[in-house]
C-alpha cells in the first residue's frame, strides 16, 4: 500500500525536479511529509528510501541530525523556545518556568489535549525582540508570561 | 536605491513601505544595477567588487572580490552560486531584515554575481526556521521571473539564471560553507576537509561560489555607485557599512547600519541607547557567540575585522550582545557550552569529545563540586581543540569558551566559594 499519496506525492515529484541531483530534495521532502502528516513515520521513511533510492538508514541519519525533523507527532501548535544567551538572560527562563507551572508543559512534552508541545532550541534569530518563541512558522517576541498566555489562549480558541 | 549617492545601503530601503514588492522596488531604482551590469564586461564587475573592499559578512571576513576570482571563468564548466542564508550564529538577526524586507535586492545581487562569474543556477540556503521569509523569497523570485530579471534570456540578453530556495532543518553547523553544501546535497551537515575549496569542487563536485546574504545584497550598490565609493564608506581594507545587530541589556536593541569601523562604545551608547536601567556594563560579545567576549573596559574599539582580531576577538556576524552587572557569566558559560555541545557535528574527536569534557566540568561547577583546577582544566581543554578540527567550529569553541573562563575566572571562583547560598 502506498503511503505518500495525493498532494504530498505531487509535491515530492515537483521538488525532485528542482535539483540537478534528486537526492538534494531529501530535506524539502522531509519538511513536506512532516507538514502533511505531522511527523515522519517509518512508512514514510521506507517510501522516501524507494523514491530517492537511498538506504533507510541514511534517511534516518539525516532526520536525527536536524533538530526540526521529528519521528513522533508534536502538538497542533509546536512551541520552540529559544534557550540561547539573548533570550534566556532576558526573560526566556521565566517563560520556561511559566509553561511548566501553567500548562504542565516541560521541554519535549505535550499538553494533555495535544494542542501544545514544547522544545527548547538554539538561537532563532529574534534576539532584538528577546525573549522570543516560534510557534509553528510564526515568531513572537518581547514576551512576558502574561503575553505568552494571551497568545496561547487565542490559539487554543 | 535612489539616484543620489547615499552613505548607507540598506536603511534607506528598509524605510520604504512595500519595498518587498517588485513594483515598489523598481520605483526606487531597483534592478537598474542589473541593467548596468549587463552592459559591463564581466571582469570589470569583478574589478569593482575588488575595489570595494567588500569582505564576507557571514563572519569570516574574506575579501569577496578575491573569492569570486578563484572561480574558473570558463563558461563551459557548470558552476553554482549559493547564498548562505542559514543565519544561526547566536545573537545574529541581520539577514532576516534583508530576506523579509529586501528580497529583490538579494535577487538583483545574485543575478549580477551570476552574470559576472558565469553561473546559471543559484541556491538560497535559508535556515529551516525562516519558513515565513522563504515564502517571501519565493514570491519575489516569481515576480522577478515574470519581469525577466531572472530566468531565460534575462532582459533580452544571452544570459540565463535561475534561483531555487532551499530550506535547512535546524543545524547550526550548516552555516559553515562545506557543511551547507553537504546539507544541500541531502546529507547530514558534516564539513568537508579543505582543500579542495568550493571554488574548485563544491556542490555536486562543481565550482561553487558561496556568499552571505548581506554580502550579495551589497553588490547592486557597488555596481551603481562604484567600488571605490563603497570602500570609502568604511575603514581601511574594510569597505562599506555593516548591519550591526545589538541585543541584550541595551535600551534600544535592533539593527543599525553603520560604517565599518564604527566604535563599539558609540554603537552601544549612542545608537542602542545605552545600558538598560542605567546599570553597569559588564561585558560584550562583539560578533556572535563565537566571538571571544570583551570586558567592559575593552569596548573602546573600532568595529572592523582587523581591529577586533587584534583585540583577540572577531567581528564575525556583527552581532553585538550586551551584558550588565546582573548577568551571570557562569550562566553565559553554561548556555554557551550546551550550545556547542549540542551543535558539534561529531565528526572530529577533539570537538566532539572536548565539548563533552567541558560540559561535564561546567556542570561540576554548577553543582559546586568543582575546584580551581577544574576551571583551569576547562581553559586547557578549550585550548586543545583549537586548530585540530576540520572546520572553524572547533576554533570557535576553544576561543569563545577559553576567553570567557579566563576573563571571568574570579566570578566563577566566587560562586564556588559561596556557602550554598541558594539551597
The C-alpha cell of B146 is what? 515574470
> Angle at the Cα of A110 (from A107 to A115), degrees rounded to 5?
130
E-strand ranges in chain A read 77-82, 116-121, 133-135, 138-140
Q: Could you say which DSSP state residue B250 is in?
A: B
Give chain A's count of helices (H) and strands (E).
Answer: 7, 4
Cross-chain Cβ contact A123/B183 below 8 Å = no
pLDDT (tens digit, 9 = 90+) per residue, B228-241?
999 999 999 999 99
Q: 3-state DSSP call for residue A132?
A: coil
The C-alpha cell of B345 is what? 557535528
For domain B11-233, the CATH architecture is: 3-Layer(aba) Sandwich (3.40)
Q: Which domains does chain A have, with CATH numbers?
A: 6-65 (1.10.10), 77-156 (3.40.30.10)
Please compute the mean of the pLDDT values over residues B286-293 and round it to a whole number: 97
pLDDT for position B2: 43
Query: Is the predicted pLDDT of residue A1 greater than 60, yes or no?
Result: yes
The residues in A 86-115 lying below 8 A from B, measured between CB atoms, are: 86, 88-90
Find out if CATH 1.25.40.10 is the number for domain B329-417: no
The C-alpha cell of B92 is what? 545574529
Let me know: does B264 contact B87? Beta carbons within 8 Å.
Answer: no
Per the prediction, chain B carries an average pLDDT of 96
pLDDT for position B1: 43
From B325's Cα to the closest Cα of chain A, the distance in A is 12
Cross-chain Cβ contact B93/A127 below 8 Å = yes
The residues in B 80-109 lying below 8 A from A, measured between CB atoms, are: 87-93, 95-96
Burial of B153 (0-12, 13-18, 19+ CB in 10 A): exposed
Q: Beta-carbon neighbour count of residue B158 at 10 Å?
A: 8
Let me know: does B415 contact B365? Beta carbons within 8 Å.
Answer: yes
The answer, for B246 touching chain A at a CB cutoff of 8 Å, is: yes
β B319-324/B241-248 pair status? parallel
The C-alpha cell of A19 is what? 535539483
Cross-chain Cβ contact A86/B247 below 8 Å = yes
List, as one string, the DSSP characters of B344-398: --S-SHHHHHHHHHHHHHHHHHHTT---HHHHHHHHHHHHHHTT-SSSTHHHHHH
The DSSP bridge partners found for residue B124 are: B83, B165
pLDDT for position A157: 82
Domain ranges of chain B: 11-233, 241-323, 329-417
Please compute the mean of the pLDDT values over residues A26-54 and round it to a whole number: 97
d(CA B5, CA A90): 39
Contacts of A53 (CB under 8 A, 6+ apart): none
From A83's Cα to the closest Cα of chain B, the distance in A is 7
Please report residues of A whose CB lies closer than 8 A to that of B345.
Answer: 65
**What residue spans of B234-300 are helical by DSSP H?**
264-266
The DSSP bridge partners found for residue A140 are: A133
Helix B131-146 / helix B103-117 crossing angle, nearest 10 deg: 60
Say what the alpha-carbon torsion angle A57, A59, A60, A63 is, to the nearest 10 degrees: 160
Query: Is the predicted pLDDT of residue B104 greater than 80, yes or no?
Result: yes
The answer, for B163 touching chain A at a CB cutoff of 8 Å, is: no
Please report residues of B whose CB lies closer than 8 A to that of A28.
Answer: 166-167
pLDDT (tens digit, 9 = 90+) per residue, B297-354?
999 999 999 999 999 999 999 999 999 999 999 999 999 999 999 999 999 999 999 9
Find out if CATH 3.10.20.600 is the number for domain B241-323: yes
CB pairs under 8 A between A and B: 138
Query: Is the predicted pLDDT of residue B4 greater than 60, yes or no?
Result: no
ipTM over 0.90: yes
How far is the CA of A11 from the CAs of A15, A36, A72, B381, in angstroms?
6, 11, 22, 48
Amino acid at each position: 500500500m502506498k503511503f505518500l499519496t495525493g498532494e504530498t506525492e505531487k509535491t515530492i515529484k515537483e521538488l525532485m525536479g528542482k535539483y540537478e541531483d534528486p537526492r538534494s530534495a531529501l530535506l524539502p521532502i522531509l519538511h513536506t511529509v512532516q507538514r502533511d502528516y505531522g511527523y515522519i513515520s517509518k512508512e514514510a521513511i521506507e517510501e522516501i528510501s524507494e523514491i530517492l533510492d537511498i538506504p533507510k538508514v541514511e534517511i534516518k541519519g539525516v532526520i536525527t541530525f536536524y533538530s526540526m525533523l521529528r519521528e513522533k507527532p508534536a502538538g497542533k501548535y509546536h512551541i520552540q523556545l529559544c534557550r540561547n544567551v539573548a533570550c534566556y538572560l532576558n526573560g526566556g527562563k521565566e517563560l520556561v518556568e511559566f509553561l511548566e507551572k501553567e500548562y504542565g508543559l516541560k521541554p519535549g512534552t505535550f499538553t494533555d489535549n495535544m494542542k501544545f508541545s514544547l522544545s527548547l532550541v538554539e538561537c532563532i534569530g529574534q534576539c532584538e525582540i528577546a525573549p522570543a518563541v516560534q510557534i509553528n512558522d510564526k515568531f513572537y517576541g518581547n514576551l512576558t508570561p502574561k503575553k505568552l498566555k494571551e497568545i496561547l489562549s487565542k490559539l487554543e480558541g | 536605491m535612489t539616484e543620489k549617492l547615499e552613505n548607507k545601503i540598506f536603511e534607506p530601503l528598509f524605510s520604504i513601505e512595500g519595498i518587498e514588492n517588485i513594483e515598489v522596488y523598481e520605483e526606487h531604482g531597483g534592478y537598474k544595477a542589473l541593467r548596468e551590469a549587463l552592459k559591463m564586461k564581466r571582469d570589470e564587475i569583478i574589478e569593482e567588487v575588488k575595489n570595494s573592499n567588500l569582505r564576507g559578512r557571514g563572519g569570516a571576513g574574506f575579501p569577496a572580490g578575491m573569492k569570486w576570482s578563484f572561480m574558473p571563468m570558463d563558461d563551459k564548466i557548470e558552476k553554482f552560486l549559493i547564498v548562505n542564508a542559514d543565519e544561526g550564529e547566536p545573537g545574529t538577526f541581520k539577514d532576516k531584515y534583508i530576506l523579509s524586507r529586501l528580497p529583490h535586492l538579494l535577487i538583483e545581487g545574485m543575478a549580477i554575481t551570476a552574470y559576472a562569474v558565469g553561473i546559471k543556477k543559484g541556491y538560497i540556503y535559508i535556515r529551516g526556521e525562516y519558513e515565513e521569509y522563504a515564502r517571501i523569497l519565493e514570491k519575489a523570485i516569481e515576480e522577478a521571473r515574470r519581469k525577466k530579471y531572472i530566468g531565460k534570456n534575462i532582459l533580452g540578453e544571452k544570459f540565463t539564471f535561475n534561483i531555487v530556495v532551499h530550506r535547512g532543518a535546524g543545524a547550526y553547523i550548516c552555516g559553515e560553507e562545506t557543511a551547507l553544501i553537504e546539507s544541500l546535497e541531502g546529507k547530514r551537515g558534516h564539513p568537508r576537509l579543505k582543500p579542495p575549496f568550493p571554488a574548485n569542487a563544491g556542490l555536486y563536485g562543481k565550482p561553487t561560489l558561496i556568499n552571505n546574504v548581506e554580502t550579495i545584497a551589497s553588490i547592486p550598490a557597488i555596481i551603481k555607485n562604484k567600488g571605490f565609493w563603497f570602500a570609502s564608506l568604511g575603514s581601511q581594507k574594510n569597505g562599506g557599512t555593516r548591519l550591526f545587530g545589538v541585543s541584550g541589556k541595551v535600551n534600544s536593541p535592533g539593527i543599525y547600519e553603520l560604517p565599518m569601523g564604527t566604535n563599539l562604545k558609540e554603537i552601544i551608547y549612542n545608537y542602542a541607547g545605552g545600558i538598560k536601567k542605567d546599570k553597569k556594563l559588564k561585558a560584550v560579545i562583539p560578533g556572535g557567540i563565537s566571538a571571544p567576549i570583551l570586558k567592559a573596559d575593552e569596548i573602546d574599539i573600532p568595529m572592523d575585522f582587523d581591529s577586533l582580531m587584534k583585540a583577540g576577538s572577531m567581528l564575525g556576524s556583527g552581532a553585538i550582545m550586551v551584558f550588565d552587572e546582573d548577568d551571570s557569566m557562569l550562566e553565559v558559560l553554561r548556555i554557551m557550552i550546551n550550545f556547542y555541545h549540542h551543535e558539534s557535528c561529531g565528526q572530529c574527536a577533539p570537538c566532539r569529545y572536548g565539548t563533552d569534557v567541558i560540559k561535564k566540568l561546567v556542570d561540576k561547577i554548577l553543582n559546586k563540586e568543582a575546584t580551581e583546577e577544574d576551571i583551569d582544566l576547562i581553559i586547557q581543554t578549550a585550548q586543545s581543540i583549537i586548530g585540530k578540527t576540520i572546520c572553524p567550529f572547533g576554533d570557535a569553541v576553544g576561543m569563545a569558551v577559553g576567553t570567557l573562563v579566563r576573563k571571568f575566572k574570579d566570578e566563577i571562583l566566587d560562586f564556588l566559594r559561596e556557602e550554598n547560598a541558594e539551597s
